[in-house]
Structure formats: C-alpha cells, structure tokens
A and B are shown apart, each in its own frame.
Chain A
Amino acid sequence: MAAPMDKVAEHHKQKQICASRPAYRQGRRDRAVKVYTVNQESRYLLVQGVPAIGVTEDLVRRFALYGAVQEYRVLHEYPAEEFTQAYWIKFDRLQAARVAKRKLDEYSFFGGVLHVSYAPEFETVDDTREKLGERRILIANKTRGKDQHGKQHSASSHEDKKKVPASSSTSTLQNEPSQRTNYQEEFPQVPSEVETFPALPAPPQQQWYHPAQQQSQWDVPKVASKQGVFPVGYDARLTVPTPNTNKSSPRSKTSSDNQDEDLGPLIGPQLPSKHQSGDSKEGTSGQSVVRPDLVPRQVMAGRKRPAPPGFFGEALDEDKDSKEVDEDVGDELQKASCPDTGSSSINKTANFVRQKMRQISQTGRNMSSGSRSSKSGSSSSSSPRSSKKTTRRRI
C-alpha cells in the first residue's frame, strides 16, 4: 500500500515552536508542543530540506554515523521547497533512528536546514509488531529491575527500622532528603550531601572528550561545547597525529613521546610544534588526523572523509598503502567521533546498500532474459537511488 504522497501527512509537518512557556519549564532547545509515544516513533525517517545539489552520499553517511542505514531513497514526488529534496531513510534499529532524529533535526547541512521526522506509515505489519514487542521488552526489563530494587529497598529499610526509627522506604514529598539517603545506601559511591555553602567552582577548564568515560551504549558522542574557545595559538587548520594513529606507524619511542602519548588529551594543541620536529612520525604518510573534539561540527560534516572502500560501488583503489592508511584514518576519525557506532554502522550501511544493488541487478537480469518486454512497470528493477516513485514494499 503506497503512502499518500499527494497530501503531506500531519506528522511530517513542522509544528510551531511554543513561545509561551514560563521560564521554569523552558528547556534548552525551543520545541513545539508534541507527545511522542511508541506509535509516533519508527525506524523510518523522512528528511526534508536537503539541498538538491547531489549530496545524497554525504547525507546518508551522516545518518549512518548513528546506526546502520538499511535503505534510503530520494523522494522526487514529495512536495518539497524549491531547490530542496526529501529523503526516505530506513534504519536497522529504532534506537538509531531516535538518536539520528534528535541530533539531526534542525541541523544545518550544506546550507539547508534539515527537518527530520518519523515516518511510521512506511512500516509493514511485522515492523509495527516488532516495534511494539521491543517496547514491551524494554519496559519489562526496566521495571523488573525496579521491582528487585524496591524489594531490596524495603528489606534494608526494615532492618534499619529495628535499629533506628529513620525514614521509611516510601518517601513523601517532605522526605526528599531521606530519599536521597536511601539512594546512598544503594550507591555508597554517590557523594554525600553538600555543605550549605559550597566552595566556588574551579575556573573553567577544557574538558577533552575521552572515549573511556562513556557510561552506556546509549550515550552519544559529545564534543566540547560549541561555545568553547580554542586555546591561544591553536590553529584548527593544522592537523595533529592522535596517539592512536601514532601506534600504527613505526616511530622511535622517546621519553618525550611517551609523555605526549599520556598527556595527549590534555596538551593536544601544543603537539604540532613537538611533532613537526620529529620526522619519524611521518609514517602516517602525511595523513594526519584532526582531533574531532576541536573542530566545529559543521566543518566535520562538510569535510570529505575517506569512505570505506567500495562504499558506493566505486572501483577499489590499487594503491594499497594509502588505502590502508585512509581506512585507518577514516576509521579512527569515525571511532573518535562515534566510538560506539561510527565505522561499524557505516560498514553495515555499505553492506546493506551493496546487497540491495546486487538483488536489483539480479532481478533486472532475470527479467531481461525472461521476457522481451523488459520494462513492464516493475518498480523493483529501478535502483533505490533513482526511484521515481515511492512504493511501500509489502513483503
């Protein structure tokens, strides 16, 4: 069943930002008044406002940073503003679609502002069933953990009651401090109550993003604050070999190098002068890497990153050395910026695209060999990138 393309669905339209919120509940970002439930969310995304200047590859690569993209299409018939196009993107997982939407909605992309919305109307019955099932499992896991927590809670509080008539486990509004102390019993590493007059905060320091500090698989990579100032004398155009790439290239280990490696994250901007003096570091064949947390996001997005070979069916490069280095650099860049998904999701996306194109070329071959009239209105014979119609695939 084809999704109605002549009329734009309500949930694809961008609602007006709410301007009348009182200050206490005004969030960091301006948002419209909208409720998202499991029905609104979907692994299918509709991206509008993409400048029609041949940036499909860049767009898909950008989205693929957040998770593997199974399929994508340009929606030529979708009503779009002049000089823009609408894209249809199918993610492998709902969570990736959620993160991608949150991160890339209102994102400035090649001069246009993206408008990303969910497109659940493209789901099949099985897709929807799977989505609801996943939600069930997630809630069950979360609440099961809480039940056990609660039982431990009440058990420990019963013991406490015998010793000290302290607060009960069922805290009320007035017992906020006691609720906090209950958490302390569970998590002794949580710092205790702060004194009434805390010391002045330390002067702002550059906080470098460190992959090891990531807590959960749901954390998305954070770069240093957009308002953060580069250190004096730092030039973003200069590139700095990261400790990771340095490991792959042969170099003489000196004490200063070891120091640099250890303090890499902290004294990053000062490295260029030190490393330029040591020519043995040029084993990376001049392909040095800019630390992603020092470069504005827009520059990152516009930058031509070395893609995994054959990503879009290109001929593989003969020059192995530079290709390996490119891969390393590309991988490291992506790993550094998206430690969890980065390169693996881009590779998965490339695999999906290759599979799809193989399927299409096979069906195309079968059709042309089977019958004389080869072009008999089969939409499956058209490649996903040049599909003129949006057809919902019903399996």
Chain B
Amino acid sequence: MFSSQEYLDKKTGPSGVGRLQYLQSLVTEFQDTDKEDCKEQVLANLANFAYDPINYEHLRKLNVIDMFLDSLTEENERLVEFGIGGLCNLALDKQNKEHILASGGVDLVIQCLSSRNEETVLNAITTLMFLTTPASKPAITSLSVVECMLRFQLSKNPRLSNLATIFLEDYCSRQQVEAARQAQTGDAVGIALPSEPQET
C-alpha cells in the first residue's frame, strides 16, 4: 500500500530524480502552465501522492496543501474534485491537519458540500470527519452542516447516505442532530401560534 524509503531509493537509482525533486517539478509545472489539462493532470498526480504518508514532508515543504485549498475555489469542477481528494488523503496527519485548520480550510471544505460532483461531496464529508478536533468540532458540526447531512442521509446514493449516517452518529451529539431536525421541519418551539380569529 505504502512505499518505503528503501523502495523509493531502489526505484530512483543513483542518478535518478528523487521524490522531492520530482514533486518540485510538478509544482513548478502547475504554477507555470496555462493549459487547464496540464493543471488537472498535475493536481491529480499530487493528490494521489498525498495518499502515502512518506510524501507528507515533501508536500508540506512545497506548500502543496495550500495549493489544494486554493483549488477548492476554482471554477473548474475537476480541479475542485482533485483538490478536495488531495486534502482528504492527507488530512489525517496531525501537522497537515493543523495547517489546514489554521488556513481556514474548514469553511472551504464546507462549501464543497454543495458541489454537483458526487466525488467532491463524498471527499468533503470525509475530510470534515478527518479534520475534527476538539477545537474545530463546533465549526464542523454547525447547524447548517448537520442539516445538510440529514438531507444526505435520505439520499438514494448509498455512498452518500452511509457517510452522512456515520457523520451524524459518530461526530455529532444527539442534541445537535435534534436541533437540526427541528430546524428542518420548521418546528419553531416557543413561538406561539396566532390565535383563532374570534367571530363576533
């Protein structure tokens, strides 16, 4: 599943391009190129590299996490999809998590929940789960997010409903879920109904 350093060294050989250098060339190409195709390919490549923790040091050094976060606001849907995929892959590492949270990543990821792309939404839900810390929990389990998850839970798409169920059961408290349910049904407790008009 994951590569070891010995495996990488063996694959590279004595005169080959090392992993860091290769990633650096990818980042450079992404920054320099104008073609959308190339940007998509490079971003997808980096997102796949983000799957293996051996690359995390390099990715942090090259500010790839910021690159992923920036791509979430792009118009090109594929760039958003690959960016959120990359974040989903590396959000479990402590240092990466802190960096994402410090850069206001939670809001950007929450925005991805309203994407039309199925993979983007799924990756966004998982990223939110991975980013949950005691400090970030209030923002991640805010009312609007929980409401959104309740809607997803009713979806016919099993992948979506499964993830939403896990989010609601494992990451939200019962009160939060209840509050969101009530907000959805418009059951505004405390506001008196208008009295019946009295017929004289």
Contact = CB atoms under 8 A, between A and B. Distances in A.
B152 interface: no
Contacts, number: 122
Given A37-B51, A139-B92, A18 B1 contact: no
Contact of B119 (A40, A216, A392): A40
A139 B85 contact: no
Interface residues of B, number: 59
B159 A39 contact: yes
Given A20-B37, A36-B48, A95 B1 contact: yes
B170 interface: yes
B18 interface: yes
A35 interface: yes
A176 B14 CA distance: 13
Contacts of A22: 29, 38
B136 to A, nearest CB: 16
B1 A218 contact: yes
Contacts of A18: 41
B156 A1 contact: yes
Contacts of B44: 33-35
Nearest to A216: B4
A227 B73 CA distance: 47
B25 interface: yes
A98 B24 CA distance: 28
CB-CB nearest 9 A-B residue pairs:
A35-B85, A139-B92, A142-B53, A194-B14, A35-B47, A128-B162, A37-B88, A39-B122, A121-B158
B88 to A, nearest CB: 4
A39 B53 contact: no
B166 A39 contact: no
A242 to B, nearest CB: 28
Contacts of B157: 121
Contacts of B147: none
A127 B56 CA distance: 27
B25 A24 contact: yes
Contacts of B22: 25
Contact of B81 (A35, A136, A139, A392): A35
Interface in B1-59: 1-2, 4-7, 9, 14-15, 18, 20-22, 24-26, 29, 37-38, 40-42, 44-45, 47-48, 51, 53-54, 56-57
A75 to B, nearest CB: 16
Contacts of A173: 20-21, 24, 61
Nearest to B96: A143
B141 interface: no
Interface string A95-127: 100100000000000000000000011111101
Given A20-B38, A35-B81, 15 more contacts: A3-B158, A4-B156, A11-B119, A25-B22, A33-B40, A35-B85, A38-B89, A123-B158, A125-B166, A138-B2, A139-B53, A143-B53, A143-B94, A173-B61, A194-B15
A140 interface: yes
A40 B48 CA distance: 12
B70 interface: no
A235 to B, nearest CB: 34
Contacts of A132: 126, 129, 166
Contact of A125 (B1, B37, B41, B162): B162
A176 B18 contact: yes
A310 B4 CA distance: 40
B123 A143 contact: no
Contacts of B14: 194, 198
Given A38-B126, A40-B119, A123 B21 contact: no
A279 interface: no
A121 to B, nearest CB: 5
B94 A124 contact: no
A330 B130 CA distance: 45
